[in-house]
Each structure stands twice: as C-alpha cells, then as structure tokens.
Amino acid sequence: MYVTIGVIMLTVIWFAFGEYYLNDQFKKPLPAWLPLVIGTFLVLQFAGLSAWQVSRGLEKRTTQQAFQSESIFTPWYNGMKVSSFQNLSVKGQYLSGQQFVLDNIIINNRYGHYVISPLNVGDNMPLLLVNRGWVEKESGNFDYSRLELINGEVNIHGRAGSLPKAGQRMNKAFDANSDWPKHAIYPSLAEITDALGHKVQPFVLLLDHNEKNGFLRHWVPSEFGPGKHFGYALQWFAMGIILAGLLFWNYRKKQLRA
C-alpha cells in the first residue's frame, strides 16, 4: 500500500513540476511527445501488473477450490508428477531412527515443532519426507518418546506439500554435532539430503489428520489468498487510471496554451 501511494505521489510531482524543472535546466523545452511516451509506458506497466495480480488471484482461488473439493487419494509412485496439496496414498517403511524435529514453528501464536519422518518407498529410490504434524513446545526438554513409530510397511495418506520456509534464516539449519533425532531450523531439502546421506523426493507428504502416528495437523493453502492479489490488482489499476488522467490533463493544458 505505501509503495503504491509513493509511486502515485512521485508521478503527480513529475507531471506537476518535473517538466518545468528540466526545461529550466536545459534552457529549452523538452520534446512535447516525451511525457506522453513515458506516461503511456507506465500506464501499460501498471495495466500489466494489474493483470498479473488478477491471474495470480485466480490461480490461488483454483488451488483453494481443488483443496476443498478433492477427496480421492491417488496411489503415488516414484517419478509421478504431483500438484500442490494433491491427495496421495503411499506405501513404505518409516526410518524411525532418522527423524527431524523442526524448531521455531509458530501456530496460533504458540511456539512448537514439526516432526518430519523419512519414509523408505523402495530400494534405490529417494526417501519421502512425511510431516507428521505440529507439537507444542514444552517448558522442559523435548519428549522423544512421542516420535516412536511402528515397524514394518505402512500405507499412509496425505497431501503433497513442502517444508516450511523462513523469510530469512540467520544460522545453519543443523548443529553439525547433533545426534538423531536431529533438531533443525527451517532446513531445505538439500540440507536434509546431506543430513540423511540419501536423496529425498522433491515434495513432502503432509500426513492426513485421520492417520495414526501423527500430531496436530491443519493443512491449508497459503494464507496469502486470492483476495490480497485482487486487492493489489485494484491498486495497480487505480494507479494506471490516475496516470492516464494526468496524461490527459497535461495534454489538454498544452492544447489550451497553443
């Protein structure tokens, strides 16, 4: 919002004073077509940005509708192309001895952890990371007994997702000397791959809330929904309209002087 207001103010100042200042500096009038060309270019840019935000908003709306309507779990296989939040069913065996506890995960203004458990989906295949949900941070040490998993093959259900991302991370994801299970702060897939010494799938399975061996799970698309994109689109459109009005005013002013 502040950026939008700033751009509008700078545009108004340019058309109000900039032309006269440059004319005075160069001791001769600028070409009459220059403000029109610059203004038209900016109007087209604002229109393009508005259209892009509308497109992003429609994409977010489609994602949310798919998220709400999809109920069938598709059997997953290695190499299968998956879409964001797609329902999947997967067979494999948990590697209970190599789990991750992601720290500093905030939900409803409370600190906690995500529990990430690798799933062996087949020999010589990349491991599938399973996010088993959120555990609230306790005053004492983390209770690792809560991470225990059943042995043997499991058939689990969930949605295709990703690891949580931080806007900016100051330190390394892992303590180099930590044992299993490893605590981490917003690790990337590459960093988890290095820690495991084994390749991982390009997505994370968000364990379904009906599955056992999970914690608090409330998987939803990004809170930055279509409404915000449509709001930004309206701002860019308004900027284009204001600039077009200034162009017309500037043109009429010169016509009256002629």
Domain segments of the chain as ranges: 2-65+226-257, 90-207
Q: What pLDDT, in 10s, does the model give residues 27-40?
A: 556 566 666 777 78
Query: Residue 225 has what pLDDT?
Result: 65
Prediction pTM value: 0.65
Query: Residue 43 has what pLDDT?
Result: 83
| Band of pLDDT at residue 20, cut at 50, 70 and 90 | low
Q: Say whether pLDDT at 236 is over 80.
A: yes
Residue 214 burial by CB count (10 A; 0-12/13-18/19+): exposed, middle or buried? buried
Using CA atoms, how far residue 50 sits from 56, 68, 79, 165, 229, in Å, is 10, 27, 37, 27, 9
Average pLDDT of 203-218? 93
Rounded Cα–Cα distance for residues 12 and 15 (Å): 5
Using CA atoms, how far residue 173 sits from 157, 176, 183, 197, in Å, is 28, 9, 8, 16
Q: What pLDDT, in 10s, does the model give residues 191-204?
A: 999 999 999 999 99
Q: Say whether pLDDT at 3 is over 50.
A: yes
Rounded Cα–Cα distance for residues 123 and 127 (Å): 10
| Band of pLDDT at residue 2, cut at 50, 70 and 90 | very low
What average pLDDT is seen over the chain?
Answer: 82
